[in-house]
């Protein structure tokens, strides 16, 4: 009886969805080189359903067909599967600590390379640029902001946001230790605002896939916040290794507030700067 | 069928209901509980402290990929969705708000339903939007136990009514009685565990 039940369950909608997911992800990896097979299952499932809605297709198999035959579809798909919705100075305490504890460390290097991995639509990159500018460090910094999605990178690179959203970040900016007039960092028309050019000048936006691309430089500060929450444990551990290899000795790693290096394989290679704010420093 | 996880949803103003729910649990209740409570994005973690006063269970906000342990109440962190992964761990996401909420009750309930199926009970407390109604439907579709705080006595009846309009909810109760129900639901599991030893 147990066998009969198992067989009946094998044809259930959940098992069918699992099969279709597996085939679709394999097809996307082989055809387009984007490998989502080791993403965390629960959020991936939601994102795949959203991609189906956005494309107006009824099944994952139909989505797979679209992704194999419609040349524009993959760009949209990668954006839907990688976007995270954030804002400027998300977690203001983190930026306060970057100002107070990390900037002094960065000053000890003549030239500072920063990697913001998984920058999505760019709000947090510009937040960091503002901090570095106010601390007088930006002229000798270069920020490499990367994301998997070309579409999201275009948004980030443009640096244009709805004016209402930007105004909404003013309180967080001040909580992060900002003392200037926040509106001096953007130029607004009636609906939108663009981030000041002298901030954007120090940022290089480029595509990078944490799953399949390697290290591309040695950095003094790496921010990878709320990116690895979308990965399964094996992939997360591998990417922490990649970030470790990309850090200069005594370079700083900033994770999201609910991500931790505890139990990760490289745990011993890092020293805690601040555990609640998830700031770490490479020591070996 | 064993009860291995309880998920609870409430919206702003649901603090009193959550406290009443926890206070009503029988002594020794050890099934893990995951809570999605609507809260401001910048909310300090006082919520865990306020809930901790009403229960002897451990109350905390989980980290990403944290294993789900018995005897613990997990509260979705402010400005994150809390999801349940198949292998008994939590996952977090910063995907956009769902039904205008992050954390969203639907996101927690739907992921838990898919991961735990019949081993899940979902409790929708007072909530003033539709968030939670789709989640209750998903829990029922996967064979889990559905519980809704009685809209007649809830601070806000909106979510409860929306859920009941959509799903034949198994239990509609005043919040003070839900703890005892969960205690009863947990009993077969406790018996089964004893038998296995």
Q: What is the mean pLDDT of residues A275-281?
A: 95
Is B156 catalytic? The answer is no
Give the residue-averaged pLDDT of A164-180: 96
Taking the C-alpha atoms of residue B81 and residue B96, their distance in angstroms, rounded to an integer, is 9
Cα–Cα dist B87/A180, whole Å: 48
Mean pLDDT of A55-59: 98
Residue A262 pLDDT greater than 90, yes or no: no
Report the DSSP pairing between strands A112-117 and A141-147: parallel
Check if B11 is active-site: yes
End-to-end CA distance of chain A: 56
Residue A1 has pLDDT above 80, yes or no: no
| From B38, B104, B106, B129, active-site residue | B38
Residue A6: pLDDT over 60: no
> Do A229 and B91 count as a contact with CB atoms less than 8 A apart?
yes
Tell me whether the omega of the peptide bond preceding residue B103 falls within 30 degrees of 0, making it cis. Answer: yes
Cβ contact, residue pair B107, A83, below 8 Å: no
CA angle B116, B117, B122 (to 5 degrees): 80
Residue of B11, B104, B111, B129 marked catalytic: B11
| Chain-chain contact of B64 with A41 (C-beta, under 8 angstroms) | no
Calculate the average pLDDT of chain A: 94
What is the Cα–Cα distance from A73 to B121, expressed in whole angstroms? 39
Determine the distance in angstroms separating the CA of A176 from the nearest CA of chain B, rounded to an integer: 13
Q: Which of A6, A16, A42 to mutate to test the interface with B (most CBs of B within 10 A)?
A: A42
**Given the structure tokens 């503002």, which residue do they identify?**
A130
Q: Do B74 and B35 touch, CB atoms closer than 8 A?
A: yes
pLDDT band at B151 (very low <50, low <70, confident <90, very high): very high
Confidence at residue B72, expressed as pLDDT on a 0 to 100 scale: 98
Q: Report CA-CA distances (Å) from B52 to A225, B105, B156, B174.
A: 29, 21, 24, 21
- The pLDDT, as a whole number, for residue A118 is 97
| Of residues B195 and A236, more confidently modeled | A236
Q: What is the mean pLDDT of residues B67-88?
A: 95
- pLDDT of A151 over the 90 cut: yes
With bands split at pLDDT 50, 70 and 90, how would you rate the model's confidence at A8?
very low
Average pLDDT over residues A215-241: 96
User: Mutating which of A5, A173, A175, A229 best tests the B interface, going by the most B Cβ atoms within 10 A?
Assistant: A229
pLDDT score of B152? 94
List the beta bridge partners of residue B67. B89
A1 or A189: which leads in pLDDT: A189
Dihedral sign from CA coordinates of A43, A45, A46, A52: positive
Distance CA A144, CA A138 (A): 13
Which of B196 and A191 is assigned the larger pLDDT? A191
**Chain B positions touching chain A (beta carbons under 8 Å):** 42, 61-65, 77, 79-81, 83-86, 91-97, 102, 107, 110-111, 114-115
pLDDT of residue A178: 97
Question: What are the pLDDT digits (tens) for A123-149?
Answer: 999 999 999 999 999 999 999 999 999
Instruction: Check residue A150 and give its pLDDT.
Output: 96
Which tokens go with A223?
């921010």
Given A40, A230, A260, which is nearest B63 (Cβ)? A260
DSSP labels, B86-119:
TTTEEEEE-PPPBTTBSS-HHHHHHHHHHHHGGG
Q: Is A178 in contact with A97 (CB distance < 8 Å)?
A: no
User: Which among B64, B73, B53 has a CA at the least distance from the CA of B123?
Assistant: B73
Interface touch B91/A258, C-beta < 8 Å: no
The verdict on pTM exceeding 0.80 is yes
Q: What is the mean pLDDT of residues A228-248?
A: 96
User: Which pLDDT tens digit goes with each residue over B28-63?
Assistant: 999 999 999 998 887 666 899 999 998 999 999 999
Q: Is the pLDDT of residue B190 over 60?
A: no
Q: Give the DSSP H or E segment for A63.
A: helix A60-69
The whole-number pLDDT of residue A265 equals: 81
Please report the pLDDT score of residue B192 as a whole number: 60
Which residues, other chains included, contact A60 with Cβ-Cβ below 8 Å and sequence gap of 6+? A17, A20, A21, A23, A24, A48, A52
Position A4 scores a pLDDT of 47
């Amino acid at each position: 009886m147990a066998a009969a039940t198992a067989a009946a369950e094998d044809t259930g909608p959940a098992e069918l969805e699992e099969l279709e997911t597996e085939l679709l992800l394999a097809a996307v990896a082989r055809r387009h080189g984007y490998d989502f097979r080791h993403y965390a299952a629960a959020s991936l499932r939601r994102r795949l359903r959203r991609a189906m809605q956005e494309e107006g297709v009824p099944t994952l198999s139909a989505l797979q067909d679209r992704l194999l035959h419609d040349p524009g579809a993959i760009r949209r798909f990668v954006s839907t599967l990688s976007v995270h919705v954030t804002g400027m100075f998300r977690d203001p305490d983190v930026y306060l600590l970057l100002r107070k504890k990390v900037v002094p460390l960065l000053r000890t290097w003549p030239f500072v390379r920063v990697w913001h991995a998984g920058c999505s639509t760019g709000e947090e990159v510009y937040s960091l640029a503002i901090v570095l500018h106010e601390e007088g460090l930006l002229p000798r910094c270069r920020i490499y902001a990367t994301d998997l999605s070309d579409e999201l990178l275009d948004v980030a690179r443009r640096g244009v946001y709805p004016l209402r959203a930007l105004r909404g970040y003013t309180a967080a900016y001040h909580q992060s230790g900002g003392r200037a007039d926040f509106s001096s960092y953007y130029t607004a028309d009636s609906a939108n605002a663009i981030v000041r050019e002298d901030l954007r000048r120090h940022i290089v936006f480029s595509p990078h896939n944490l799953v399949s691309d390697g290290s591309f430089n040695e950095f003094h500060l790496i921010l990878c916040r709320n990116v690895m929450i979308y990965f399964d444990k094996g992939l997360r551990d591998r990417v922490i290794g990649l970030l470790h290899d990309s850090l200069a000795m005594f370079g700083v790693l900033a994770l999201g507030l609910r991500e931790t290096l505890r139990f990760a394989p490289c745990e011993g290679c890092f020293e805690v700067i601040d555990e609640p704010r998830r700031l770490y420093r490479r020591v070996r | 069928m064993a009860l291995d996880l309880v998920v609870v949803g409430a919206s702003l103003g649901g603090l009193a209901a959550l406290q009443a729910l926890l206070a009503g649990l029988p002594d020794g209740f050890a099934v893990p509980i995951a809570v999605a409570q609507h809260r401001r994005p910048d909310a300090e973690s006082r919520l865990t402290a306020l809930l901790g006063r009403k229960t002897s269970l451990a109350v905390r906000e989980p980290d990403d990929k944290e294993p789900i342990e018995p005897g613990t109440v997990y509260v979705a962190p402010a400005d994150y969705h809390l999801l349940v992964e198949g292998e008994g761990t939590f996952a977090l996401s910063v995907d956009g708000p769902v039904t205008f909420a992050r954390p969203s009750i639907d996101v927690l309930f739907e992921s838990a339903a898919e991961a735990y199926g019949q081993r899940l009970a979902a409790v929708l407390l007072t909530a003033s939007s539709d968030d939670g109604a789709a989640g209750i439907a998903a829990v029922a579709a996967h064979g889990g136990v559905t519980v809704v705080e009685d809209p007649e006595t809830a601070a806000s009846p909106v979510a409860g009514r929306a859920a009941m309009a959509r799903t034949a909810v198994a239990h509609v109760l005043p919040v003070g009685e839900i703890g005892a129900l969960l205690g009863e639901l947990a009993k077969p599991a406790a018996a089964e565990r004893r038998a296995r030893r």
